[in-house]
C-alpha cells in the first residue's frame, strides 16, 4: 500500500509541476528557468508544512516523497544551470543557485512555522 500511495502522489505531483510550469511560462515573460525556481520554492514551503503537521506516516510519504518529490525537480535545476553555464551566463547561474538553495531552506522553515501554527489553532 505504501508504494501505491507514493506512486499516486508522484503521478499527481508530476502533473502539477507540468501544469504549474506551463502556466507560469504562459503568463510571464521571465526566463524559462524561473518556472523551475518557482515550483521548487513552492515545494520547499509545502514540505515545511508537511513536516510540521502530525500526519500519519503514510500520508507524509504520499505528500513528502510522492507528491512533493515529483513536484519539485533537482534534475531540471541542474540542466538549466548547465545550460546557463554553457551560455557563459555566470551571473544567472550564481543567482539561480543561491536563490534556490537559500530561498528553499528559508521557505521550508517558514512552512514549518506555519504548520506549527496550524496545529495550535
Binding residues for Na(+): 69, 72
Joined together, the cell numbers standing for residue 68 give: 512533493
31 vs 9: CA distance, rounded Å: 28
For residue 17, the Cα-to-chain-centroid distance in whole angstroms is: 9
DSSP 115: H
19 vs 5: CA distance, rounded Å: 21
Amino acid at each position: 500500500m505504501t508504494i501505491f500511495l507514493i506512486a499516486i502522489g508522484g503521478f499527481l505531483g508530476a502533473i502539477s509541476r507540468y501544469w504549474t510550469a506551463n502556466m507560469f511560462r504562459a503568463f510571464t515573460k521571465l526566463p524559462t528557468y524561473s518556472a523551475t525556481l518557482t515550483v521548487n520554492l513552492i515545494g520547499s514551503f509545502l514540505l515545511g508544512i508537511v513536516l510540521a503537521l502530525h500526519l500519519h506516516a503514510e500520508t507524509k510519504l504520499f505528500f513528502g516523497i510522492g507528491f512533493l518529490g515529483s513536484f519539485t525537480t533537482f534534475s531540471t535545476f541542474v540542466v538549466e544551470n548547465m545550460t546557463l553555464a554553457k551560455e557563459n551566463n555566470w551571473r544567472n547561474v550564481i543567482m539561480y543557485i543561491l536563490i534556490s538553495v537559500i530561498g528553499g531552506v528559508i521557505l521550508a522553515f517558514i512552512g514549518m512555522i506555519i504548520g506549527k501554527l496550524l496545529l495550535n489553532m
